[in-house]
């Protein structure tokens, strides 16, 4: 039920497991003229020969060869196999021998893999900028009337210069790392392992980020207002979010520049600590860090405000018939699944805790499977009582509010503790604030579940290439419902502060082979690509509820740098290329999963 599922990538949001789709968006030679900033926005081509499936002709020499039957997708569950595409012409063969040579050559230098992380995340970042500056730009440019031009120009004015600057920075990084790896001889030997100069030069664009930090919330607010008031723009916005290239909510892409600054800051700290003052790059790294510091120190406060606005506006727009969720002073605190006691026994409900109100909902039986509001409790009048065994179930507690009594149970002691902590604090703060606002009923949208159901990989490719047949099936609200868990604003902020991408090897379920995939972590989820240059992910795996550990002896994984992801009986193994890269994936994935003792020790070691 919770394996890597394969519903077509619905906005890149997997239905509980890995969802998978046909994958690619092309670009036509003829661009659609744009009234926003640039006249060279690429368009997506219609490829009548596009295959329904995608092949990765990756074999691991020295391991078991992939058989034709080892297809990545199956009808009912994800078997941990390979993506297949009989028309693929650019598949590559990856041998363990080649990887071992690279590992032995570079693994002694942790700094090499730090710079490789910089390159990998920069590749992903430029693709994320393209989502706004190219693909969304293209969509709104197709509509000649009824677009909020001033709002859109405000958005593109922020992203256009960033896109140009980072495209150049990426080319410089690729050239320098190619030299480091011996693929180029342009630089002298002394310069081969030096990248601080191009980072420092790139940081000349930091004034653009100062402007972005100052303007991004206003852009989000104006886009949200245009979405609610302009039906034509609302439809264009919703349609774009259903395209495979938009694998996250659009608002998440708008926030990516702030995430990039946080990653630069973290990576520079690690590089400075690793190399020390005698290294050729130390001075440039230190100067770059000094330039970055005044901007980064303002991000945490801005991030909390922006993430809160995004959570409220996303919930509001998913159920437009209920107005008033986005209100000044209201804060999103926690959302998640609890069992609510009724005459019929315990039934699953979705709860949403805000700074002034607790809302509980039920999933509708409509095709869209939205959440309908059952009730609300203003927090000023709420009392909470622990009632462990009173209801005949574990992890239960009772919520009193006005003339209502809710007897609920969490999925675990940990979940119960999280809810009680946030409820106690929110109730106390609401009483102290006592703002007396009258609140309206709220409603939230969910999406169809596919914890059990896989992608219909054989669907008509022409009909489904650009759009997803369902909506946002791996958003956190959906995953919380199906994994019986919860997330808080703190969790969202922590997830935002963590970014990672790069190649991993994924073990086939029924053989000893390993498949090379480009993997991106974002929004509590892993997204899988055939290669880093691909426009859209092949599949995704929501991580909420999973644990990440090292393999047990009984797993019989005789390889280095392997980590294990597990939820109930669903187990996946991924292999990194170095000790540093392994530790980073464990740390980042641990930020979105149930942390093991192994992860904690790795983080403590890395921070010591």
For residues 159-178, average pLDDT: 94
Residue 228 has pLDDT above 60, yes or no: yes
At 372, give phi and psi (nearest 5°): -105, 135
Does 460 have pLDDT greater than 70?
Answer: no
The whole-number pLDDT of residue 443 equals 40
Identify the residue with better confidence: 246 or 458. 246
Strands (E), 455-597: 486-488, 500-507, 514-522, 525-529, 539-542, 547-549, 562-567, 570-575
How much is the pLDDT for 102? 52
Residues 527-576: tens digit of each pLDDT: 999 999 999 999 999 999 999 999 999 999 989 999 999 999 999 999 99
Q: What is the pLDDT of residue 38?
A: 46
Percent of the chain with pLDDT over 90: 56
Is pLDDT at 384 greater than 90 in this prediction?
Answer: yes
Residue positions counted in the chain = 608
Coil/strand/helix, residue 492: helix
pLDDT at 365: 67
Average confidence score pLDDT of the chain? 77
Write the pLDDT tens digit of every residue in 208-225: 999 999 999 999 999 999
pLDDT for 108 equals: 55
pLDDT at 30: 36
Q: Which residue did the predictor score with more confidence, 53 or 289?
A: 289
Domain extents in the chain? 19-92+461-479+486-607, 100-314, 322-433
199 confidence band (pLDDT: 50, 70, 90): very high
Q: What is the CATH code for 19-92+461-479+486-607?
A: 2.30.29.30
- Give me the CATH code for the 322-433 domain, please: 2.30.29.30
Read off the pLDDT of each residue in 150-175 and give the average, rounded to a whole number.
96
DSSP string, 181-241: TTS--SS-GGGTT--HHHHHHHGGGHHHHHHHHHHHHHHHHHHHHHHHH-HHHHHHHHHHH
The reported pLDDT for the residue numbered 489 is 95
pLDDT of residue 591: 87
Q: Is CATH 1.20.900.10 what the domain over 100-314 is classified as, yes or no? A: yes
List alpha helices for 50-109, DSSP H.
Answer: 96-106
Residue 280 has pLDDT above 50, yes or no: yes
CA 222 – CA 229 distance, rounded (Å): 10
pLDDT value of residue 100: 52
State the pLDDT at residue 368: 63
Ranking 12-21, 309-318, 337-346 by mean pLDDT, the lowest is 12-21
Task: Kindly report, residue by residue over 68-120, the tens digit of the pLDDT.
Answer: 222 222 222 333 334 433 333 333 444 455 555 454 444 458 999 999 999 99
pTM of the entire predicted model: 0.79
Greater model confidence, 53 or 247: 247
Residue 369 pLDDT level (bands cut at 50, 70, 90): low
Q: Do domains 19-92+461-479+486-607 and 322-433 have the same CATH topology?
A: yes
The per-type count for the chain, helices as H runs and strands as E runs, is: 17, 18
**φ, ψ for residue 560 (rounded to 5)?**
-85, 160
Distance CA 236, CA 140 (A): 7
Convert the pLDDT of each residue in 409-454 to its tens digit: 999 999 999 999 999 999 999 998 865 555 444 443 333 332 222 2
| pLDDT tens digits along 461-471 | 333 334 443 44
Per-residue pLDDT for 598 more than 90? no
Q: Kindly tell me if the per-residue pLDDT of 243 is higher than 90.
A: yes
């Amino acid at each position: 039920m919770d394996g890597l599922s394969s519903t077509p990538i619905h906005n890149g949001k997997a239905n509980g497991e890995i969802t998978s789709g046909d994958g690619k968006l092309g670009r036509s030679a003829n661009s659609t003229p744009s009234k926003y900033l640039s006249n060279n926005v690429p368009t997506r081509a219609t490829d009548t020969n596009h295959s329904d499936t995608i092949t990765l002709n990756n074999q691991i020499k020295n391991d078991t060869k992939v058989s034709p039957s080892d297809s990545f997708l199956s009808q009912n569950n994800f078997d941990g196999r390979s993506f297949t595409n009989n028309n693929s012409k650019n598949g590559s063969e990856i041998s363990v021998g080649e990887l071992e040579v690279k590992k032995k050559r570079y693994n002694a230098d942790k700094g090499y893999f730090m710079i490789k992380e910089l390159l990998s995340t920069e590749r992903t970042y430029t693709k994320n900028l393209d989502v706004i500056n190219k693909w969304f730009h293209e969509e709104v440019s197709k509509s000649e009337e009824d677009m909020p031009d001033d709002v859109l120009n405000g958005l593109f004015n922020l992203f256009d210069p960033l896109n140009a600057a980072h495209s150049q920075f990426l080319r410089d990084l690729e050239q320098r790392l190619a030299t480091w790896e011996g693929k180029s001889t342009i630089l002298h030997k002394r310069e081969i392992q030096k990248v601080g100069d191009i980072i420092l030069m790139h940081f000349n664009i930091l004034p653009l980020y100062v402007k972005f930090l100052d303007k991004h919330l206003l852009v989000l607010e104006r886009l949200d207002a245009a979405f609610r008031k302009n039906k034509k723009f609302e439809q264009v916005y919703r349609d774009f979010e259903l395209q495979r290239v938009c694998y996250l909510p659009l608002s998440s892409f708008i926030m990516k520049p702030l995430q990039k600054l946080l990653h630069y800051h973290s990576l520079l700290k690690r590089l400075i600590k690793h190399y020390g003052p005698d290294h050729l790059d130390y001075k440039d790294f230190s100067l770059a860090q000094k330039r970055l510091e005044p901007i980064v120190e303002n991000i945490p406060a801005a991030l909390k405000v922006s993430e809160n606005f995004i959570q409220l506006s996303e919930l509001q727009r998913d159920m437009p018939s209920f107005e008033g969720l986005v209100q000044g002073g209201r804060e999103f605190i926690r959302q998640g699944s609890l069992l609510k006691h009724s005459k019929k026994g315990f039934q699953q409900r979705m709860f949403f805790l805000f700074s002034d109100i607790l809302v509980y909902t039920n999933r509708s039986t409509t095709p869209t499977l939205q959440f309908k509001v059952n009730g609300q409790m203003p927090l000023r009048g709420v009392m909470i009582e622990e009632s462990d065994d009173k209801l005949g179930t574990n992890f239960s507690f009772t919520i009193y509010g006005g003339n209502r009594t809710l007897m609920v149970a969490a999925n675990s002691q940990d979940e119960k503790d999280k809810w009680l902590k946030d409820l106690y604090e929110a109730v106390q703060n609401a009483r102290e604030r006592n703002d007396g606002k009258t609140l309206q009923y709220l409603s939230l949208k969910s999406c169809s579940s596919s914890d059990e159901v896989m992608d219909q990989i054989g669907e008509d490719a022409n009909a489904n290439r650009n759009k997803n047949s369902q909506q946002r099936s791996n958003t956190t609200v959906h995953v919380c419902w199906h994994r019986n868990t919860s997330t808080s604003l703190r969790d969202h902020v922590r997830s935002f502060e963590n970014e990672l991408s790069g190649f991993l090897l994924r073990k086939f379920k029924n053989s000893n082979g390993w498949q090379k995939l480009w993997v991106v972590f974002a929004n509590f989820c892993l997204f899988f690509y055939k290669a880093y240059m691909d426009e859209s992910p092949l599949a995704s795996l929501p991580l909420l509820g999973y644990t990440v550990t090292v393999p047990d002896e009984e797993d019989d994984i005789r390889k280095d740098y392997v980590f294990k992801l597990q939820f109930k009986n669903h187990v996946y193994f991924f292999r990194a290329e170095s000790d540093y890269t392994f530790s980073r994936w464990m740390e980042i994935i641990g930020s979105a999963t149930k942390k093991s003792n192994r992860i904690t020790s790795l983080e403590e070691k890395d921070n010591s």
